Amino acid sequence: MARQPEGPPPPPTVQKLRLRYTKRGPLRFASHRDLARALERALRRAQVPMAFSAGFSPHPKISYVGAAPTGAASEAEYVEIGLAQARDPDAVRAALDAALPPGIDVVECVEAAEGGGSLADRIDAATWRVELPGVEPADLGAAVEALLARAEVTVAKRTKNGPRDIDARAAVASASAGGTAGCAILTVVVRQVTPSVRPDDVLAALTAVADLRPPLPPRAVREAQGRLDDSGTVADPLGPDRAARARCQGERATV
C-alpha cells in the first residue's frame, strides 16, 4: 500500500485569481526562477491565503504563463494563483504590489470566471517592441520588408539540447519599423511555436535576409500577450474574466 502523508489534507482551492504584472528596469535581467521566488515571498508577506498541493512536498498553487526570457522587459506577464479563502481581487493586488520589489508591479488582478477555460488557452501570440540604438528606421524598414517577403528564414537557435535550426519567419504574424534618427524601433507580433521564437531570433532573421547588424545591444519589451485574432490583434487574456464579473454585478444589481 502506498505511504500517505501524515495529517489532514490541505484545504481545497475556493478561488482562482489571475494577475498581470510587469518586469521592468534592472529586473529584466532576473531569471524566471528568481521572479518566481520573489513572488512566493511576496505572497507570504502580503498574507495571501494560498491553497497548497497535497502530498509529501506541498507547494503553493501558482501557474505561470509564458514567462519572458532573461534580459527582456515586459508589461504583460501573467500568473494564476489558487486561494484557500476567498479574497477581494483589488485588495490582493494592492497588498501583493506593496510586498514586491520595484520593477515587479501588479497592474491588475481579476477572479477567474467559472467555466472560462484556462489562462494558457487564451495566449498564443505576443507583441514585442524592440529598440535598436544605432540603426536608422529606413534601414530597419528595408530589412523588415525583406523578411516579410520570404516564405522561410532559417536561423540557428540555442536550446537546452544544443544548437538547432528553426524557421523564424513562420512565427512572425506581422512586423513594422518606426522610431527616430539613430534609434529604430521594431514592432513584431510573434506566434507561440515550439521551439519558441523570441526577439533575438527575429533579429537573427533580419541579419540573414538583409545583413542588419545593430551596433549596440537591442532593448526588447513585451507589450502584450493573448490570442491572435483574424485582424492581427492580440486580445487581452483577462478580458473574458473581466466581462464575466461585470455580468454578475449587473445581474445582482437587477435582482
The DSSP symbol for 210 reads H
Question: Kindly report the CA angle at 138 between 137 and 139, in degrees rounded to 5?
Answer: 90
Contact between residue 39 and residue 62 where contact means Cβ atoms under 8 Å apart: yes
Q: What percent of the chain has pLDDT over 70?
A: 94
Contact between residue 186 and residue 174 where contact means Cβ atoms under 8 Å apart: no
Nearest residue to 75 (alpha-carbon basis) of 102, 100, 107:
107
CA distances from 144 to 15, 201, 210 (A): 45, 14, 8
CA distances from 31 to 8, 37, 70, 73, 225 (A): 35, 10, 5, 11, 19
Longest dimension (CA), the chain: 71
**Among 6-10, 42-46, 142-146, 156-160, where is mean pLDDT lowest?**
6-10
- Taken in order of first residue, the domains within the chain and their CATH numbers are 15-121 (3.30.70.580), 124-226 (3.30.70)
Q: pLDDT tens, 207-253?
A: 999 999 999 999 999 999 999 998 889 999 999 999 887 776 666 55
DSSP string, 70-126: TT-EEEEEEEEEEESS---HHHHHHHHHHHSPTT--EEEEEEPPTT---SGGG--EE
Q: pLDDT tens, 54-88?
A: 877 888 999 998 889 999 999 999 999 999 999 99
The DSSP symbol for 239 reads H
The DSSP symbol for 67 reads P
The DSSP symbol for 27 reads G
Length of the chain, please?
Answer: 255
| Model confidence, pTM | 0.90
